[in-house]
Amino acid sequence: MDNPFKSATFTAIVSDLHLCEEEPVNLKFPLWKKYKTKEFFFDDVFEQFLNHLPNLSGGLPIELVLNGDIFDFDSVLAQPPRPHYRVSGIERKRGLHPQEQKSVFKIKIILRAHKQWIEALGEFVRAGNRIVFVYGNHDLELHFKEAQREVLSHLKLNEEELKRVTFTEWFYISNEDTLIEHGNQYDPYCRCEDPVNPFIERAGYLEVRLPFGSWATRYIVNGVGFFNPHVDSNYIMSFWQYFKFFIKYMARSQPTLVVTWVFGAFATLKQTISDQLHPAIRDPLSVELRIEDIAKRANATPSMVRQLTELFLPSAGRNPWLIARELWLDRAAILIGAFYVLLNIYIYVNAITPLSIWWFLGPSALVFPPFLFYSSFVHSEVLRFKEPQERILSLAALITKVQRIVYGHTHVSRHEIIGAVEHLNSGTWSPAFTDVECKNPIDQKTFVWIFPSLEGRRLAKLLKFKDGVAEDRFHSKHNN
């Protein structure tokens, strides 16, 4: 049987939509997770985008690649009313764990909130086009077949139309000329440990092994509603930036922020290390069939699958100290340790001769200057890996025999030549704002458009969908 995904004339690539549940407006604190409220849903704009794409292709069929983080399972906090499975206390506060029944519940919640989006996608397929879902770090729970079936059922397609929808692990090769990856496999903090064998067993349940970034989103970001997770600068700050942010936005609404952070940080560290200690579930009798299946759905060969896995950067979860630094637990340990030592000295001396409490408070105040000095020299490593290395681009292009590589993940749109490889990043459609009030959106609703010329598909453009039409970065409009 012919593979309907083998060749493509026109390809559109979008990523990082981060579709999630609707956050109800908090009347007491209206800025609480404002970016998740229905005010910033873009389902109608995405429907317009899908309706506009045939204008670019001249009515010819289009391959739409949804390149990861389309659904944000990590940010879903909804709870089933009467669950027939165990829900722990931390799951009630920070979201359900990545187990199949719970993942199916979450995708139902997302699709119910974005009914217009999924209906528009279904109509796009019925019009003769096709769709490829590539997993990102926030929608790794699509590894569960039941979660995929839930998406397919909401598309409301017949048997023949369903053949034009597929799901692929972490990459997809379009028309033998373009490698499309979400890009999280080259980010140690967001890497899926083993996308070929993504499951682990925990307490008798099958789970998707999540990376550090996903657990940090669940246990920390989900508990602090003023940090927008779609822009790094919103949650990666210096000590003084955090202090000023707290005073401005959180002193009244979340005065126990430190407690929330410490709880979330320790829970993230514990869960990340625990996941690393659980071996992946592997079946030696079917491992080759698994690789062949991944290769078939990605338009690759089994050898390409094996070689691409060799390019992954080591997971940060293997280095607990690195994780602790990212969570600021090293700085917390310094303060707690210093105060503990000073308090014990004070208690010991005070037992011999009575001392004023200032003999403890004074030396304690002297701890802060060296603490701030240390903090100023410790920077987050997360941003170091946000853009692909030239070595990885070159090797990935050689392995897959392509001339172009498209990533997502970073939320930063790009189009450049790195070495001998054309590199594009499709940017984001997520509700990404640089401010808590959600008044300053970053450049978004961008997509990659690949189309033919006299020499084949040698042309690719980074376009932005705005006011019902696609335009490039210089604002020249493309209607056909």
pLDDT in tens, 184-224: 999 988 999 999 999 999 888 899 999 999 999 999 888 88
Q: What band does 111 get if pLDDT is binned at 50, 70 and 90?
A: very high
The pLDDT of residue 377 is: 64
The pLDDT of residue 239 is: 67
The pLDDT of residue 265 is: 87
> What average pLDDT does range 112-136 have in this prediction?
96
The pLDDT of residue 463 is: 93
Q: Answer yes or no: is pLDDT of 457 > 60.
A: yes
pLDDT in tens, 270-279: 999 999 889 9
Q: Please tell me the class of the 10-199+282-313+384-478 domain.
A: alpha beta
> What average pLDDT does range 138-153 have in this prediction?
96
pLDDT in tens, 215-243: 999 998 888 877 777 776 666 666 667 77
- Neighbour count for residue 78 (Cβ, 10 Å): 17
The pLDDT of residue 30 is: 83
Residues near 8 by beta carbon (within 8 Å), at least 6 away in sequence:
63, 174, 175, 450, 457
The pLDDT of residue 130 is: 95
The pLDDT of residue 467 is: 84
> What average pLDDT does range 447-466 have in this prediction?
88
Percent of the chain topping pLDDT 70: 92
pLDDT in tens, 23-36: 888 888 888 888 88
Picking from 156-165, 353-362, 469-478, which range would have the lowest pLDDT averaged per residue? 469-478
Every domain of the chain with CATH number 3.60.21.10 lies at 10-199+282-313+384-478
Q: Answer yes or no: is pLDDT of 254 > 80.
A: no
pLDDT in tens, 290-339: 999 999 999 999 999 999 999 998 888 888 888 888 887 877 888 888 88
8 Å CB contact between 76 and 95: yes
Q: Answer yes or no: is pLDDT of 154 > 70.
A: yes
Q: Answer yes or no: is pLDDT of 375 > 70.
A: no
Tokens for 125, please give them.
């397929």
The pLDDT of residue 455 is: 78
> What average pLDDT does range 61-67 have in this prediction?
96
Which tops the pLDDT comparison, 358 or 157? 157
The pLDDT of residue 128 is: 94
Q: What band does 477 get if pLDDT is binned at 50, 70 and 90?
A: very low
Q: Answer yes or no: is pLDDT of 478 > 50.
A: no
Q: What band does 178 get if pLDDT is binned at 50, 70 and 90?
A: very high
Q: Answer yes or no: is pLDDT of 280 > 80.
A: yes
The pLDDT of residue 234 is: 66
- The conformational region for residue 401 under phi > 0 = left, psi -120 to 50 = alpha, else beta, is left
The pLDDT of residue 374 is: 67
Between the alpha carbon of residue 176 and those of residues 4, 9, 110, 300, 302, the distances in Å are: 14, 11, 33, 9, 15
Which tops the pLDDT comparison, 391 or 387? 391
8 Å CB contact between 108 and 41: no
The pLDDT of residue 476 is: 39
Average pLDDT of the chain to the nearest whole number: 87
Q: What band does 382 get if pLDDT is binned at 50, 70 and 90?
A: low
The pLDDT of residue 479 is: 42
Q: What band does 443 get if pLDDT is binned at 50, 70 and 90?
A: low
